[in-house]
Structure 1
């Protein structure tokens, strides 16, 4: 872990600056120019097992990396969290083996980013009340709904979208998470204005008759209506990660 901290501190000293952080924040710009350099350090693979191209780090390692990055560079921290946390951790903890082998090596290589679309205009802390609907139509789902306050949606490759797939059962049992490619027809993304923290944008997303294959259910088709336990796994690690992040900011 000491070597991990030294690696990150060396990267921050060589590749980042407060001027870069300020420029990215003031211009609401994601620091994509650092992507290949950060990928070369191996940090994108930190929490993933070696079989998926990662280095097999623990949750403590992940939080230590988050804290060290956030302390040294807002830009580098944003670059790390968008693929590793918002996509990678969800796929690692909930994805099918096929999904893990397809997406995790892409994250490690710096070629895949995701965002987590949970919050809606009328759904915040009570996540079980999501209204965005995904209706089965053959081997596809048709999605309609509105998400808001979604971090990084306009630059994500895939939107990890919490949906209501069965409205006729207990609200904890009728949810599914769909991995929706951002360029899918019917998706509209608008950036929201913020006073700070603008390196990763905050967006609203509209889904209008968006069609995706049932293979894009997180965990595969057999994970239909398993969104609630999947969601809890993500929120558990999110709370720990956010704690580490804000210790650094403080």
Structure 2
């Protein structure tokens, strides 16, 4: 019994430390949600609203340019290699590296070169740029005094009018991205986390879910559609 209690406590501590890097207050879901793993194993349930890049393009056809926003980790970039390396270097037996400014400086100031651009983000950004839409990247990462991630995103996504990445930071009590989404009059915000969807809605924007890859180091995998939000098809990669 004691061993079981210790294992449970250790698991809880691990989850708490890991989730701190992407912390968002938890809002109860309004619909049945499904993780990317569940969707890959069982197929797409009828209750989910799946859309494509072409669907969004058609909806915006004939409308004036708008501002759109993108989360970075697991939305624009598959950045698990960065976080895996950070854990190995700074806290191989735990997740305290996520509270270490030295890790964030490494991640934000060079290690993102190991992050792979997601195919869905490439498609979305190309479509929005063709329309003349304004593109912002808003992340819950801890900021650093460098511009590498901004430059990297500009390069890999061929962003013509690049704004500096907005590092909103994270909180267990506040949706930190909401003020930035509202301040830049963003109409659509793409993100993989529950907090991305809620942050967008609180700012008066639509939050569209990008599916987190099943092999992402950021666990647990979110339940796509848990807020009745629209979900991008084939967005896990």
Place the TM-score, normalised by the shorter chain, in its bin. under 0.3
State the structure with bigger RCO (CA 8 A, min sep 6), 1 or 2. 2
What TM-score, normalized to structure 2? 0.25
Structure with the higher fraction of residues in helix conformation: 1
- TM-score, structure 1 as length reference: 0.24
Instruction: Compare the two structures and name the one with the higher strand fraction.
Output: 1
